[in-house]
Structure 1
Amino acid sequence: MFNRLLRTAFALTLITTAISCSHDDGADGYTLRIGATSVTGTPAGSLGWGDRQGILAEQLKSAGVSKIEYSFFQSGSDVASALFAGAIDVAAIGDNPALRARSRDPKVVLLSLDSINGDNQLIGTKGGPTDIRGLIGKTITAPQGTIRDRTARQLIEAAGLTGQIQVRDVPTPESIAGLSSGQIDATIVGGASAVELQEKGFPVIDSLARHGFGSTGANIALSSFTEAHPGFREAWQQAVTAVNRDITENYDDYLRWVADTDGTKFEYVQKSTRVEEFNTEPFPDAGLAQLQAAYDFLNADGSFDHEYSVREWAGAKP
């Protein structure tokens, strides 16, 4: 409970700071406020690469963006809250919080997908079960409302074990610490952290990829913003796809930058990243299929306030 209060206070502090920043339109354009998650306090992933290479700033000039400011949060749901609070203009988050945000308010616009084919692993404690059936009667930890939480539930459902394995709401850093001490049975981890744990002898019990599942990165805004800035959605899509194209063309450089930024080993990033994650069109068929699958799961789970069409949200005709 104390940790959750700390996270909430941290998010509210960032929201207050972001709201206090000016966002005036003028002859020289306007400042675009982007919210995202980051453990380093700097733009991460493809967003960070686009910022570092100057691609985002260059591509968004045509939409009147003269400056980009970032606010960083501990979870995608915190970023979505900042969007609703008017603290940011664009939320770069995972599909879970994006889908939930749209179910809450039809004025949430899906700008683009910035990544597809994301994977997460179910990692067990050393000496513990190596098959998900070995977790019957035990618990899996994952931050509630996140892609990792959905991963846990999807893997449990895929194994036909719904109701037989508990999913507990525990932040990832605490989960990894508990895994190391043997106090946690299993947790959901992605990226270089999952590879590092595997290298240290923690078993990979299951993963999204083994079942043909995947996650996407979604960029959302409110219709009040896109209506006030005609052409922004198209410019944003061009920017995102230009960034991803640059990543695919400079792949090893990108991986080294991620390793340096995150303070991890290059080989961990290399093993946990695939070039197929970086879509070079705003709504590729594979990404839309993964977004639809996530929607279907969350909807069946009773996670939504209102139902809607994913394809229409992405701009497809009814």
Structure 2
Amino acid sequence: MTSLTRRSVLSLGVLGAAAVAAACGAKDRAGQAGSGDNWTLRIGTIGSKNQLTSPTGYLHAKNQLLPLLASAKVGAIEVYTFPNGPDLNQALVGNRLDIASYGDTPALIARGAGQPTRLISQANVANDAGIVTVKSGVVSLQQLQGKVIATQTGSYIHRYLLGALQDLKITPKQIVHVYGTDTEAALEKRSVDAAAVPANYALLFQGKGYPLLELASRNRPQYLGTSATIVTEAVLKNQPGIVEAWQHAQNEATKRAKANWGDYLDFNTSLGAFPRGLVAKTVLPEQLPDTPFTDNGVKLLNGTKDFLVAQKIMKKDFSIDDWIAPGARSEWAPS
């Protein structure tokens, strides 16, 4: 399982190149974030719409994010969305992004492969995932022995799946890469036996009759995912003020989201094809830290890193403390 998984993750980098070129076009402006005023901040994120997510996305949708970044001389924001982390990582390799906010697993893999990034915050902690199966299929995780399981390889969901299988000493026949948006079709056609997906998809599929075997939050909280917001070292060199500005913006965005929770849920509902009632079950205030880093968030991040190293998915180990950008700890109030 380990060698198969590692090949899957690495091959996605090649497959994602075309998607990156299409998403970013000719805007390969390496070093565009110079020392002058009014530079354009290019942000990469994961999603099905060309829209920034999380609390910072909530403010951006209201045209309230840019003013909070004025201290870092940001004059405009461009958002690029990708179907998954490996595709986003290719954009980082091509110097097409300045900041990226996505899952911890692909961010760690990129850093472990030598990508020059620095961590500036964790906007979300305790991101949930679950495992569902085909109708009239297996009824327990133990029965996944020798089965085909779908997931978005290279994601925090993938890491959760590998952890669950390892805990139970289960070796599947194959782990195949399937985007969350394509998972229901794979289950319906029975081209896979089960799928590991984000919690919102897991509950959506359960409502359609696909049995839910477990949720990470209920059964394996040690494998909950976190997000990672990173900045390239090139941008950090030219615009060191972006660290403080982004952290301040994230703190303010989180405060406003929690103070207007109903409106924040409406924003999250607008991002995808999930009913508001389901969004309310999977987007929770406790997932949004009040500071850029928390003890629990860093603990989860270290656990994910150590697991990826042990599985030989990450090329090289490194210290999370060393990865955090200079000055990024200034507002860290441990939980």
Using structure 2 for the length normalisation, give the TM-score: 0.86
1:107-126 aligned at under 5 Å gives the runs 107-126=116-135
Aligned position for 2:302 = 292
CA separation in 2, counterparts of 1:75 and 1:301? 20
- Aligned residue type for 1:295: K
Q: In structure 2, which of residues 157, 173, 194 is the aligned counterpart of residue 186 of structure 1?
A: 194
Instruction: Give me the identity figure in percent.
Output: 26
- Aligned residue type for 1:281: T
Aligned position for 2:100 = 91
1:73-92 aligned at under 5 Å gives the runs 73-92=82-101
1:188-267 aligned at under 5 Å gives the runs 188-209=196-217, 210-213=219-222, 214-267=224-277
- Give 1:292 deviation, angstroms: 0.7
1:33-52 aligned at under 5 Å gives the runs 33-52=42-61
- Give 1:83 deviation, angstroms: 1.7
> How well do the aligned residues superpose, as a CA RMSD in angstroms?
2.4
- Aligned residue type for 1:89: D
* SS of corresponding position for 1:183: coil
CA displacement, residues 133-155 of structure 1 (integer Å, 9 cap, x when unaligned): 12111121112212222121111
Contact kept, 8 Å, 1:76 with 1:146, in 2: the verdict is yes
* SS of corresponding position for 2:246: helix
Contact kept, 8 Å, 2:226 with 2:301, in 1: the verdict is yes
CA separation in 1, counterparts of 2:208 and 2:59? 33
Contact kept, 8 Å, 1:122 with 1:187, in 2: the verdict is yes
* SS of corresponding position for 2:150: strand
CA displacement, residues 75-125 of structure 1 (integer Å, 9 cap, x when unaligned): 212212212211111111110111011112263111111110101001111
Contact kept, 8 Å, 1:83 with 1:221, in 2: the verdict is no
Aligned position for 1:167 = 175
Q: In structure 2, which of residues 43, 57, 72 is the aligned counterpart of residue 63 of structure 1?
A: 72
Contact kept, 8 Å, 1:247 with 1:278, in 2: the verdict is no
* SS of corresponding position for 1:19: coil
- Give 1:20 deviation, angstroms: 6.1
Contact kept, 8 Å, 1:143 with 1:149, in 2: the verdict is yes
* SS of corresponding position for 1:188: strand
Aligned position for 2:319 = 309
Contact kept, 8 Å, 1:120 with 1:188, in 2: the verdict is yes
CA separation in 1, counterparts of 2:54 and 2:135? 30
Aligned position for 2:289 = 279
Contact kept, 8 Å, 1:89 with 1:222, in 2: the verdict is yes
- Aligned residue type for 2:103: G
* SS of corresponding position for 1:9: helix
- Give 1:175 deviation, angstroms: 2.5
Q: For this pair of structures, how many residues does the alignment match?
A: 314
Q: Which runs of 5+ in 2 are unaligned?
A: 1-7, 330-335
- Aligned residue type for 2:185: A
Between stretches 75-84 and 269-278, larger displacement belongs to 75-84
Using structure 1 for the length normalisation, give the TM-score: 0.90
CA separation in 2, counterparts of 1:149 and 1:24? 34
Change (3 A) 1:28 1:227: closer
Contact kept, 8 Å, 1:175 with 1:184, in 2: the verdict is no
Q: Which runs of 5+ in 1 are unaligned?
A: none
Contact kept, 8 Å, 1:29 with 1:65, in 2: the verdict is yes
Contact kept, 8 Å, 1:82 with 1:88, in 2: the verdict is yes
- Aligned residue type for 1:84: V
CA separation in 1, counterparts of 2:116 and 2:198? 31
- Aligned residue type for 2:267: W
Change (3 A) 1:306 1:183: closer
- Give 1:69 deviation, angstroms: 0.9
Change (3 A) 1:251 1:9: same
* SS of corresponding position for 1:123: strand
Contact kept, 8 Å, 1:283 with 1:314, in 2: the verdict is no
Structure 1 segments of 4+ aligned residues over 6 angstroms from their partners:
none
CA separation in 2, counterparts of 1:73 and 1:21? 19
Contact kept, 8 Å, 1:149 with 1:167, in 2: the verdict is no
- Aligned residue type for 1:97: P
